[in-house]
Structures are given as C-alpha cells and as structure tokens.
C-alpha cells in the first residue's frame, strides 16, 4: 500500500470538515474524489502533505507515518507532488526556474543536472518552448501544465491534484486533462479532486464520493456512475450532469 | 505651540494641496507641468532647509516675518506638495463613469468637480491624509531650528537649567509625540468610519 | 536687493555632500537589514516567539511615532548624562538608522504580506523549509514590490540627514551654515544648497526608476495584484 489514511478528523472553529475519513491508495493507482463543494475534499488533500494539520487520525506513506510529530515533513512533502487549483507558480520565476527550484534547493541537484531534468519535464507536458516565459506570460492551461511539471520533476511517489481545472476557461481544460491522463497511463500514483466527470469515468481506477466530511461510497467508475449504491451519490451525479451536460 | 503650528500648516497645505491636485488632474497641460515641478521642488528640499530659506528669504527683500509665520509657511508649502499627491491619487481612482453621469445630468465641468468628484476624493484620501498628519506633526519640531519656542526648545531649556533632567525631559517629549500621533490617527480612523459610504472604498 | 554668490563655497559644499551621502547610505543599508528582520519578526513570530513580536512592534511604533529630531537630540544630548557619548556623525548615523529601520520594517511587511498566500503553500508543498521558502520565494518577490516605497524612504532619509547639522555634523547643511556664518550670506548659501538637494534627489529618483524597470517581472507588482 502506498498511501493509507485512517480516521482523519479536522475542524475549523465550530465546523467539522472531516469526520473520520479512511481510505488507501495502491502504487500506480488513480483515485478520483468527487462530491459537492465544501465537503472537505480539498482539506483532505492538504492534510495528506500537512499543509493543513489534521486534528486526529493517522496517515502513512508506505511505511512512514506522515502524521507522526517526529517526521521531517519537508522530506515527506518532497515525495508528494501537489497541484493547486490556482497553479501557484512562483510569480518571479520563469517556467524553467519554477521547475528547477525544488530540484536545486530541496534535492540539492547541481544547476546543469537540474536544468536538463526540468527541460525534460517541461517537454513532457508539451511546454519545452516556454521555458523562458514568466507565469504571467502563459495561459491558465499552460501555467497548470508547468505546475504539473514542477511536481513531476521531484520524482514524487504520488501526486495530489486539488481541482486542477476549476480555475481554467473551458477551452483550456482539455490540455490539462490530457496531460493528467497520460500520467495516469504511465503508472503515476494520483489522487485527484475534480468536478470533471468525464475524466473521472475514463481515467480513475476507483472513485470516492464524499459529502459533508465523510466518504459515502467508493468503487470502480462503472459502479459509481451506473449503479450507485447510495442515494446521495445518485442525486449528486444527476445534479452535476444537469449542470454540465452528459459528456463531461 | 506645536499644535498651533500643526493647525496652521495643515490648513495651508490642505487648501493648496486640493487646488494643485485639481489643476494637475483637470487643468491644461502647462499647469500640469508646473504642478509636477512644484511637487518635485517641495519634496526634494529638506524641511529644515525650507524653513531657513523662508526665514532668511523675506528679510533679504526687507520684509521681516516672525519665526512662527515662517515655519507655517515653509512646512505648509511642503505639506501642500504631499497632500496634492494624495488628492491626485484619490481623484484619479474615481471611475470615469462618475464624470460621464454628472455631465450627462447637465452639470458643468466645475460643478462636476465640486459636487461629485471632490466629495468622493476627500473621503478616499482620508487614510493617506492620516499618514501626512503623522509626518507633519513630527516636522513641527524642526521649527526649533529657527528659534520657535516649540516643545524641543522647551526640553533644551529644562536640560540646560537642570542637567540631570536631560534624559527624562527628552523622553517626556517623545512620549508626548507618541500620544499625539496615535490620538490623531485614532480620530482620523473614527472620522473614516463615520464618513464611510458603502461601495466607496480605496481600492487596493 | 543684492544677491551675492561665490564659487569659493563649492569645495566645502561638495565635502558636505559627500558626508550627506555617507550618512544616508550607511543608515539606509543598515536600516534595510534591521527593517527586514523586524518585518519578518512581526509577520511570523507567534506562539512561543510572541514576546519577540511584541518587542518588534513596540520598536516600530515608538520610532515611527516620535520625531527624528527628538530621537537625534536624545541620543546626542541626553544619553551622555547616563555616560553614553557620541560624535555628531555617529549620533547622526545611529538616529537615522534606528529611525529608518522602523519605517522600512513597515514597507517590507507590506510587501511580504502582499505576496499571495499560495506562493508559500506551493513552496512548502515542494518540500522547502519555511526559511527556504522565505529566502527563495517570498523575499525575491517582496524585494521587487518594496522598491517604490523604499525609494520614498530614501528621499526622506536624504532630507532627514539634513537635521543632523543641528547637533553640529558637517554634512551639506552643516557646511552651508558655516559658510553662512562666515559670509553673512544666509539666503544665497541656502539657495545653492537647495539646488544641491534638488539635483541629488532627481538623480536618485532616476536611478531607482531604472532599477525598478530592470528588475520588473511580468505579473509582479501590477496594480490590482495585491
């Protein structure tokens, strides 16, 4: 098992955002988390690399307990890629430098080696020719692809995607999803929060449906989409199809 | 003494500042140029040097002015340059739709400035004006240099009569300024709250 | 009216100008260092470090809330009563540095806080430590954002250094006073000195604008991006 999450709890003030979430992820697997907005999906992802500290519960990455107070969290984070909804590329750095920063400052790689590696990852997301561009000079889709390259360059054991296409104009969503699909096929372990049901259906090995801080149902796409066991799952899928149309 | 000075120079600075700002934003090009030269001059010359110039200048032409008046004039002129910047920023941050709407109603150019733009700009500039207040309050000490008996000079008198009291006297002066600054900022903050209009905020 | 100027004033004034530049340069750079430290303390010192936060905040409020002249006079005239003696120059450097550190702290704080929160998050997510994130991600952006207010502060300090003549330093104003006392040409000397300052500030402003242009990065510091 690559990632194991057990009984995770988190509350913000009065509101309990996560009420005991447990699941696991095998190596090479892609799981997609779906569910209504504000049900703790993003909080869950942030707890996994402890950008948000969980109140209770334990998380293991392979045999290392992430939630242990003794763990060197920076070393753990270097092994977990994170792709943000609003990209968060470093504004003052070019695409190349964005990808290189972690390699040089976290992994201690030399400049030459880091550059070669960074260019390779940029090529992988189809942006080799944009290496010298600053984030503000790139479209949203391109920025998100650079941020995926930034995560990939670190050779992560797993990548967390927090609604990677929600901040994009509709016509730019496709290019990002295509990169993610390639990644999934290449055997990368991925945990994706998204509202893109088409992507969930065709790429996910398993789908987790979350609502109000708990996992209501999980299973292969066929089960979730065609014969959901929980009435709330069915209702959510109906609403989202009404909203976005059947093909997404 | 410092407070009288403060009142005088803030008043002078305010009137001139608003005037310059209006000329700068709405006036003809040549006035705009004059305004920016004015601002550059009064932002560049040290306050203390301005004081000396205004103090010695008129006597050169046979006119004697009191140190107090010289201080008000010098610091007031300097403040007007800064206040003009503040009002200019505020005027320029008002959406152009406001002018269009006013003109569409049949208001004249001057009427638009007077009834629509200035009231908004003055509210918007309160925060910047608070900063300027804090700056000029402290500048009033500089009048010491031309012999106005303001608080610094009082402190030196005390120190010269009673040597061991030197440090306490200076610290007392510092605390007085601290109190005055924060009291002033508090009042301006309250004023800002009172005059707040929903939807009209300095956009960051 | 008869105004009399003399070329013979210039060497002394140039000497004074040099000292003015020296005063300003030392206090601005040392002040920048302490300003950054104060700013970081005020932003990040919480929990067990709260006393540090309070200390830094108190410092900033005190030195921003009191006049430079009062600070200068306290250092030069009052501290000797408790056994601390300074030359006019070192008292000037000390007062200007303490003063500008407080102001610069506020500019740096504003700049650091206007770097979006996501930047820190992304840096941490990569595995950078907080200190590394500050060093490689937050500060490089903040330093660019701080250039405009910092330029204003530099101008304030050039002008502020003029105050030091009141305790007898021989910078630009001090030299002017000496010449004026010798020649009784107060007004004329001060006019010349005013021209010195006008030129100096103009040159500094142009240099800083150039630096700002040189270090500009697309998407950083544009209006509406605070």
Overall number of domains in chain B: 1
Whether residue A89 lies within 8 A of chain C, CB to CB, comes out as: yes
* pLDDT higher than 50, residue B204: no
Q: Do chains B and C touch (3 or more CB pairs under 8 A)?
A: yes
Q: C132 and A105 in contact by Cβ < 8 A?
A: yes
Amino acid C103: pLDDT: 94
For residue C24, the number of C-alpha atoms closer than 13 Å in the C-beta half-sphere is 25
Q: C162 and B48 in contact by Cβ < 8 A?
A: yes
The Cα-based distances of A95 to A88, A110, C81, C144 in angstroms read 12, 18, 60, 19
Which residue from C68, C166, C176 is facing B145, i.e. has the nearest CB? C166
Q: C70 and B142 in contact by Cβ < 8 A?
A: no
C→A contacts (Cβ < 8 Å), by residue, are 115-116, 118-119, 121-129, 132, 136-137, 140-141, 144, 217-220, 222
pLDDT tens-digit profile of A20-65?
A: 999 999 999 999 999 998 889 999 999 999 999 999 999 999 999 9
Closest residue in chain C to residue B43, using alpha carbons only: C155
Q: What are the φ/ψ torsions at residue A141 (nearest 5 degrees)?
A: -65, -40
pLDDT tens-digit profile of A56-102?
A: 999 999 999 999 989 999 999 999 999 999 999 999 999 999 999 99
Q: Is residue C224 part of a domain?
A: no
Counting every residue written for chain C, the total comes to 226
All partners of chain B with 3 or more CB pairs under 8 angstroms: C
**Which stretch of A199-213, B88-102, C200-214 has the lowest confidence by average pLDDT?**
B88-102
**Which stretch of B51-60, B112-121, B143-152 has the lowest confidence by average pLDDT?**
B143-152
Rounded mean pLDDT of A1-18? 93
Amino acid A245: pLDDT: 57
Q: Residue A137 burial (CB < 10 Å; 0-12/13-18/19+)?
A: middle
CA angle A65, A69, A73 (to 5 degrees): 70
Whether residue A75 lies within 8 A of chain C, CB to CB, comes out as: yes
Residue C8: DSSP 8-state: G
Residue C48: DSSP 8-state: G
Q: Residue C2 burial (CB < 10 Å; 0-12/13-18/19+)?
A: exposed
Between these two residues, A248 and B168, which has the higher pLDDT value?
A: B168
The Cα-based distances of B148 to B60, B145, C164 in angstroms read 20, 7, 18
Banded model confidence at residue B200, pLDDT cuts 50, 70, 90: low
Closest residue in chain B to residue C199, using alpha carbons only: B44
Chain C residues with CB-CB distance to B186 below 8 A: none
Checking ipTM against 0.90, whether it exceeds it is: no
Specify the CATH number for the domain of residue C202.
Answer: 1.10.3720.10
Rounded mean pLDDT of B139-153? 77
Q: C66 and B40 in contact by Cβ < 8 A?
A: no
Closest residue in chain C to residue B139, using alpha carbons only: C67
Which residues form the domain of C111? 9-215
Specify the CATH number for the domain of residue B152.
Answer: 1.10.3720.10
Q: Return the number of CB contacts < 8 Å for B and C.
A: 117
Between these two residues, A119 and B74, which has the higher pLDDT value?
A: A119
Which residue from C122, C126, C219 is facing A136, i.e. has the nearest CB? C219
Q: Is residue C1 part of a domain?
A: no
Whether residue A92 lies within 8 A of chain C, CB to CB, comes out as: yes
The Cα-based distances of A7 to A4, A20, A21, A23 in angstroms read 10, 4, 5, 9
Overall number of domains in chain C: 1
Which residue from A51, A79, A134 is facing C217, i.e. has the nearest CB? A134
* pLDDT higher than 80, residue B146: no
Closest residue in chain B to residue C61, using alpha carbons only: B178
Rounded mean pLDDT of A128-141? 94
Residues lower than pLDDT 50 in chain C = 222-226
Q: Do chains C and A touch (3 or more CB pairs under 8 A)?
A: yes
Identify which of C74, A151, C9, A134 has the alpha carbon closest to the alpha carbon of residue B152: C74
Q: B171 and C74 in contact by Cβ < 8 A?
A: yes
The three-state secondary structure class of A35 is coil
The residue whose two tokens read 């000075």 is B5
Quote the mean pLDDT of chain A. Answer: 93
Which residues form the domain of B127? 2-203
Q: Is residue C199 part of a domain?
A: yes
Amino acid C1: pLDDT: 53
């Amino acid at each position: 098992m690559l990632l194991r999450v057990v009984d995770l709890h988190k509350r913000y003030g009065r509101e309990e955002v996560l009420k005991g979430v447990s699941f696991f992820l095998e190596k090479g697997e892609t799981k997609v988390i779906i569910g209504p907005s504000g049900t703790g999906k993003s909080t869950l992802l942030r707890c996994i690399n402890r950008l948000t500290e969980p109140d209770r519960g334990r998380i293991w990455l392979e045999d290392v307990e992430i939630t242990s107070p003794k763990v060197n969290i920076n070393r753990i984070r270097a092994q977990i890629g994170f792709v943000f909804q609003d990209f968060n590329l470093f504004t003052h750095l070019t695409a190349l430098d964005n990808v290189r920063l972690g390699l040089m400052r976290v992994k201690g790689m030399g400049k030459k080696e880091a550059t070669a590696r960074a260019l390779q990852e940029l090529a992988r997301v189809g942006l080799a020719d944009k290496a010298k561009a600053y984030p503000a000079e790139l479209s949203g889709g391109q920025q998100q692809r650079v941020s995926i390259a930034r995560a990939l360059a670190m050779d992560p054991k797993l990548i967390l995607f927090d609604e990677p296409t929600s901040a994009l104009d509709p016509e730019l969503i496709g290019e990002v999803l295509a990169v993610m699909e390639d990644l999934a096929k290449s055997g990368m372990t991925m945990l994706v929060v998204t509202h893109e049901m088409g992507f969930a259906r065709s790429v996910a090995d398993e789908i987790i449906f979350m609502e109000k801080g708990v996992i209501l149902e999980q299973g292969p796409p066929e089960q979730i989409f065609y014969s959901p066991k929980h009435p709330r799952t069915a209702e959510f899928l109906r609403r989202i199809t009404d909203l976005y149309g059947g093909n997404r | 003494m410092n407070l009288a000075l403060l009142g005088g120079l803030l008043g002078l600075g305010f009137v001139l500042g608003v005037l310059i700002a209006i000329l700068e934003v709405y006036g003809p090009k040549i006035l705009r140029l004059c305004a920016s030269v004015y601002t550059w001059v009064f932002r560049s010359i040290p306050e203390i040097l301005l004081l000396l110039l205004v103090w010695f200048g008129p006597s050169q032409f046979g006119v004697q002015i009191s140190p107090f008046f010289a201080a008000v004039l010098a610091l007031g002129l300097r403040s007007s340059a800064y206040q003009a910047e503040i009002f200019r920023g505020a005027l320029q941050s008002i959406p152009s739709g406001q002018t269009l709407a006013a003109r569409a109603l049949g208001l004249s150019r001057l009427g638009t400035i007077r009834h629509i733009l200035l009231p908004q700009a003055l509210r918007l500039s309160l925060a910047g004006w608070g900063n300027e207040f804090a700056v000029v309050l402290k500048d009033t000490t500089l009048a010491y240099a031309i012999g106005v008996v303001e608080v610094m000079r009082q402190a030196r008198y005390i120190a010269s009569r009673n040597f061991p009291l030197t440090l306490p006297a200076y610290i007392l002066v510092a605390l007085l300024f601290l109190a005055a600054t924060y009291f002033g900022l508090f009042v301006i903050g309250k004023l800002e709250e009172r005059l707040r209009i929903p939807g009209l905020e300095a956009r960051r | 009216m008869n105004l009399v100027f003399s070329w013979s004033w210039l060497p002394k004034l140039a000497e004074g100008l040099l000292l003015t530049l020296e005063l300003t340069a030392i206090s601005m750079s040392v002040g920048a260092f302490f300003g950054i430290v104060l700013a970081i303390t005020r932003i990040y010192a919480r929990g067990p470090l709260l006393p540090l936060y309070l200390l830094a905040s108190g410092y900033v409020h005190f030195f921003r809330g009191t006049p430079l002249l009062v600070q200068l006079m306290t250092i030069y005239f009052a501290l000797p009563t408790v056994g601390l003696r300074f030359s006019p120059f070192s008292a000037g450097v000390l007062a200007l540095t303490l003063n500008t550190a407080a102001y610069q702290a506020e500019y740096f704080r504003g700049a650091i806080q206007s770097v979006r929160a996501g930047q820190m998050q992304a840096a941490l997510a990569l595995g950078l430590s907080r200190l590394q994130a500050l060093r490689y991600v937050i500060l490089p952006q903040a330093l660019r954002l701080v250039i405009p207010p910092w330029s204003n502060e530099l101008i304030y300090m050039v002008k502020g250094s003029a105050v030091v003549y009141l305790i007898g330093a021989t910078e630009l104003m001090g030299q002017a006073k000496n010449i004026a006392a010798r020649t009784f040409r107060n007004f004329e000397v001060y006019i010349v000195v005013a021209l010195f300052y006008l030129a100096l500030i103009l040159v500094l402003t142009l240099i800083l604008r150039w630096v700002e242009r040189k270090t500009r990065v697309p998407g950083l510091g544009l209006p509406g991006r605070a």
